[in-house]
Amino acid sequence: MTGEPLVVAKDLDMGYGDFVLMRDINFTVYRGDIFIIMGGSGCGKSTLLKILFGLKKPLRGKVLYGDTSFWDIDLSERQRMMERFGILYQYGALWSSMTLAENIALPLQHYTKLTPGEIREIAALKLSLVGLAGFEDYYPSEISGGMKKRAALARAMAMDPDILFFDEPSAGLDPISARLLDDLILELRDSLGTTILVVTHELASIFAIGTNSVFLDVERKTTTAGGDPNKLLADSKVPSVRRFLTRGKEGM
Amino acid sequence: MGTLVSDRAIEAEISVMRQGEGKLLVVFSGFWRLAGSLPSTDEFRKQIETIQVQRVSFDTDELKDWDSSLLTFLIRVNRLCAEKGIEIDLEGLPHGARQLLKLATAVPEREGVRKTAKREMFLSLIGAKALVFWRSTVDMVNFLGEATVAFGRLQTGRASFRRSDLVLLLQECGAQALPIVSLISVLVGLILAFVGAIQLKMFGAQIFVADVVGIGMVRIMGAIMTGIIMAGRTGASFAAQIGTMQVNEEIDALQTLGISPMEFLAVPRMLALVVMMPLLCLYADLMGILGGMVVGIGMLDLSPTEYLHRTREAVTLTYLWIGLFHSAVFGLLVAMAGCLRGMQCGRSASAVGEATTSAVVTSIVAIIVATAVITFACQLLGI
């Protein structure tokens, strides 16, 4: 399943000001991976994601996309690379003054030369892909939390990104909706070949969709494990990883 | 599919071919990317309209790359075929595209979900507006009532708010407003003096500039200017803050704890402004007189003692009390408008913006109306 390396993190240190959150983070994401960034609360999963998609600079180290060092190039070049990213924020972050269709249309209006009619068709298509057919003219405040999340996913997919970043996709969703979202993620990877990076601590999701992963260890302040989560559960000897993957039943 | 940065030549093409009896083959070729343009379905439509077609199939051997643009095209084809009752054979499509098409049609549109544009009758529009106006009036009266009750509880010492909040608010509405109040009042004093000076010079009665500035500032302008400054500065901030708390469900959290948001949020804000506004007004009066004096000394060759003496003769204590009374009323109005609009705020970012705008507009209207009422009352009472 694994293709060429797509994203490589090399000796990343991350933190805020003088405060170092994590040191020496190293991992490789391959094309077509569903890559899970896991770890306990407050270990810096979301911060790592922000470093990967360009909202926050690492204290040290490199993020490589192919041969390009993401944080060493000009802002304008980085911006161009970011056009190929789709990001699903933790709380959806839909623009509240726009309808769902307008939310999805904004990136398309900005980056393509499609006509308004075509853009509307594409917005309708994206909404139907996430099961929200017919909701084009709704405002985010008029729909439920789970629907907002799916609409936000539709917006993240608007430009058919090469890489999708998900920050806690199943947080705040009921088990069935969470499961449907997992299926949708798998479907997207299989049909469009999108590489997907997911920050989550939902064990069910981790085992269901993850093909590769990295574990951020709060105590050791670095990465202590990586690879297929199911293999990690079977083989890993690291106590903190066992504790995490078994909900504290082992490794205490 | 796709490389990270794609800037190669992008061309998407289709051709439609007849294939035996009632069969149509759509051949896709090239790069189908959103960055390019969508080919039109006109040719396909013409074909199915001119000849009898039972079945449409696809050929994608020459298709180099595809994304949602292909799907959008297919959905259009699908729609056209459904209208004519033509069968579609998805076999020739890439596996991923077939999957996505299935996914897109997996959850059909729920009945009655789509919003339809309603055309309202003119009269019903007026009716709706009237109802909204009535409701907002009721809201305002409700708010007044609740505020009164809350102040009643404050009198008996049962109102629950944090003293530290009040101190912080006093600082925010008081000391922190001094720079802007100084600037505006000095300028207003200057302007009054300038305008007055030109007229009074004609009579050789320059000294009365001190009267114009003194009475004007102390009796009314000081209060109105601070009122308007505080409406823009503090009233708006109250509305934005309480509105954001509404968005974040913080107000709900207070209510479920049995703490009245009215007592906890509105009472300290109103208290703070009612206490600080007269003080700010007093300061503004002084600053305004100072501004007038600058013109008096600089332009009209009056001496400072002369000017101050004249001011003291012109400005009576009654004027001062009237000015301070105005400002206390304005303080209450601005705080109430800010809190009311904040509490009424909807649950989105744009609603917070509307609440803030509406708070400032309400405050300023209230200030002007209150000035008119008080002035009229003073006239009747002969003050």
> What pLDDT, in 10s, does the model give residues A130-153?
888 888 899 888 888 888 888 998
* C-alpha dihedral, B199 to B204 to B210 to B215, nearest 10°: -50
CATH of residue A80's domain is 3.40.50.300
Could you tell me if A182 and A208 are in contact, meaning their C-beta atoms sit under 8 angstroms apart?
A: yes
Confidence of residue A2 (pLDDT cuts 50, 70, 90): low
Q: What is the mean pLDDT of residues B316-345?
A: 94
Taking the C-alpha atoms of residue B345 and residue A206, their distance in angstroms, rounded to an integer, is: 39
Same structural domain for residues B355 and B238? yes
Q: Which tokens in the block code for residue A121?
A: 């068709």
Indicate yes or no: CB of A162 within 8 angstroms of CB of B113. Answer: no
In this prediction, residue B3 carries a pLDDT of 42
> pLDDT digit string (tens) for A232-251?
888 888 888 888 888 877 76
Together in a domain, A62 and A140: no
Instruction: Choose from A8-17, B43-52, B110-119 the range with maximum mean pLDDT.
Output: A8-17
Q: Are B58 and B93 in contact (CB under 8 A)?
A: yes
Residue of B nearest to A127 (CA): B104
SS3 for B207? helix
The closest of B291, B269, B275 to B221, measured between CA atoms, is B291
- The answer on B102 and B164 residing in a single domain is no
Reduce the DSSP state of residue A155 to 3 states and report it: helix
CB of A158 closer than 8 Å to CB of A3: no
CA dist A192 → A162, A205, B38, B55, B99 (Å): 9, 20, 18, 27, 9
Q: What average pLDDT does the segment A47-74 reach? A: 87
Q: Identify whether the C-beta of residue B269 lies closer than 8 Å to the C-beta of residue B331.
A: no
* Closest CA of chain A from B309, distance in Å: 59
A13 plus A47 within the same structural domain: yes
Element (H, E) at A206: helix A203-209
pTM higher than the cut 0.80:
no
| A169 in any annotated domain | no
Q: Which two tokens stand for residue A103?
A: 């939310």
Q: Which single residue is written with the structure tokens 């209510």?
A: B255
Alpha-helical segments (H) within chain B: 42-50, 68-84, 95-106, 122-155, 163-173, 178-203, 209-215, 222-230, 236-247, 250-256, 261, 267-300, 304-314, 317-343, 349-381
One domain, residues B27 and B167: no
Tens of pLDDT, residue by residue over B129-162, are: 999 999 989 999 999 999 999 988 888 887 788 8
Q: Are residues B249 and B182 in the same domain?
A: yes
Say how many residues make up chain A: 252
Q: Give the residue from B64, B86, B106 where a domain finishes.
A: B106
Tens of pLDDT along B55-64?
888 888 888 8
How does pLDDT run across B245-256, given as a tens digit for each residue? 998 889 988 888
| Residue B114 domain flag | no
Residue B120 lies in a domain: no
Shared domain for B165 and B99, answered yes or no, is no
**Given an 8 Å threshold on Cβ–Cβ distance, is B96 in contact with A192?**
yes
DSSP notation for A74-106: -HHHHHHHHTTEEEEBTTB---TTS-HHHHHHH
CA atoms of B374 and A4, how far apart (whole Å) = 79
User: Chain B residue with minimal CA distance to A135?
Assistant: B114
pLDDT at B338 over 60: yes
Q: Using alpha carbons only, how large is chain B's radius of gyration in Å?
A: 35
Rounded mean pLDDT of chain B? 88
Shared-domain flag, residues B198 and B311: yes
Q: Has residue B106 got a pLDDT over 70?
A: yes
Which residues form the domain of A30?
Answer: 1-84+190-247
Output the six-digit token pair for B101.
């098409």
Separation between Cα atoms, residue B57 and residue B19, nearest integer Å: 10
Q: Decide which of A140, A160, A180 is a domain's last residue.
A: A160
Q: Which domain holds residue B281?
A: 159-381
When pLDDT is cut at 50, 70 and 90, the band that residue B290 belongs to is: very high
Average pLDDT, stretch B222-246?
95
- Using DSSP's 3-state secondary structure scheme, residue B301 falls into coil
The model's confidence at residue B218, banded by pLDDT at 50, 70 and 90, is very high
- Find, in chain B, the residue whose alpha carbon is nearest to that of A130: B104
pLDDT value of position A240: 83
Percentage with pLDDT > 90 across chain B: 52
At B40 the pLDDT is 81
- Identify whether the C-beta of residue A164 lies closer than 8 Å to the C-beta of residue A197: yes
Cβ(A89)–Cβ(A167) below 8 Å:
yes
Contact B72 A118 (CB under 8 A): yes
Contact call for residues B50 and B81 (beta carbons, < 8 A):
no
Q: Within a domain: residue A65?
A: yes
Examine residue B201 and state whether it is found in any structural domain, yes or no.
yes
Domain boundary among A145, A160, A175: A160
Give the per-residue pLDDT at B270. Answer: 94
Same domain, A1 and A80: yes
Burial A162-197 (b: 16+ CB within 10 A, else e): bbbbbbbbbeebeeebbebbbebbebbbebbebbbb
CATH (domain of B92):
3.30.750.24
pLDDT over 70 (residue B70): yes
Q: Which amino acid is at A196?
A: I
In a domain, B144, yes or no: no
Amino acid at residue number B370: A
Report if residue A1 sits inside a domain: yes
Least confident stretch, A131-140, B170-179, B286-295: A131-140
Write down which residue in A138, A160, A182 finishes a domain.
A160
Distance CA B209, CA B222 (A): 16
Two tokens at B301? 């060759």
Q: Does the pLDDT value for residue B44 go beyond 50?
A: yes
Residue B135 within a domain: no
Q: What confidence score (pLDDT) does residue B2 get? A: 41
Mean pLDDT for B7-32 is 77
Q: Measured between alpha carbons, how far is B259 from B307 in angstroms, rounded to an integer?
A: 54
Total of domains in chain A: 2
Query: What is the DSSP-derived secondary structure letter of residue A30?
Result: E
Question: In the listed set B106, B125, B143, which residue is the last one of a domain according to the structure?
Answer: B106
Do B94 and B222 lie in a common domain? no
With cut-offs at 50, 70 and 90, classify the pLDDT of residue B108. Answer: confident
Q: State whether B171 and B254 are in the same domain.
A: yes
Judge if B57 and B192 occupy the same domain: no
A5: tokens are 């390396």
Look up the ipTM and state it: 0.74
The answer to whether B68 and A122 are in contact (CB under 8 A) is yes
DSSP secondary structure code for residue B65 in this structure: E
pLDDT reading at B188 higher than 90 = yes
Asked if residue A21 and residue A6 are part of one domain, the reply reads: yes
Whole-angstrom Cα distance, residue B331 to residue A58?
A: 49
pLDDT at B4: 44
Domain co-membership, B180 together with B55: no
Q: Are residues A32 and A151 in the same domain?
A: no
pLDDT band at A226 (very low <50, low <70, confident <90, very high): confident
> Quick one: pLDDT band at residue B329, thresholds 50, 70, 90?
very high
pLDDT, tens only, A154-170: 999 888 888 999 988 88
Do the domain assignments include residue B326?
A: yes
The verdict on residue A174 lying in a domain is no
Instruction: With CB atoms and an 8 Å threshold, state whether A96 touches B109.
Output: no
- State the sign of the Cα–Cα–Cα–Cα dihedral A138, A143, A147, A153: positive
């209208």: which residue's tokens? B83
Provide mean pLDDT across the span B49-58.
82
- On whether residue A5 sits in a domain, the answer given is yes
The answer to whether residue B146 sits within a structural domain is no
Shared domain check, B62 and B194? no
Residues B179 and B102 both lie in one domain = no
Residue B11 has pLDDT above 80, yes or no: no
In a domain, A168, yes or no: no
Q: Indicate yes or no: CB of A66 within 8 angstroms of CB of B106.
A: no
pLDDT tens string A195-225: 999 998 888 888 888 889 888 888 788 888 8
In a domain, A175, yes or no: no
Closest-CA distance of chain A to residue B311, Å: 54
What is residue B233's predicted lDDT score, i.e. its pLDDT?
94
Question: What confidence score (pLDDT) does residue B9 get?
Answer: 53
> Using beta carbons and an 8 Å cutoff, which residues of B are at the interface with A?
1-6, 33-35, 37-38, 67-69, 71-72, 75-76, 95-97, 99-100, 103-110, 113-115, 346-351
Question: What string of DSSP letters covers A46-65?
Answer: HHHHHHHHTSS--SEEEEEE
- Asked if A76 contacts A127 with a C-beta cutoff of 8 angstroms, the reply is no
Contacts (Cβ under 8 Å, ≥6 apart) of B92: B57, B58, B59, B60
Query: Which of B6, B72, B95, B111 is most worth mutating to test chain A (most A CB atoms within 10 A of its CB)?
Result: B72
- Report the gap between the CA of B67 and the closest CA in chain A (Å): 6
Does B100 contact A191 at a Cβ distance shorter than 8 Å?
Answer: yes
Question: Within this chain, do residues A6 and A54 fall inside the same structural domain, yes or no?
Answer: yes
The structural domain count of chain B equals 2
In a domain, B111, yes or no: no
Task: Give A25's strand partners.
Answer: A12
- Using CA atoms, how far residue B374 sits from B220, B235, B325, B369, in Å, is 11, 22, 9, 9
Q: Is residue A130 part of a domain?
A: yes
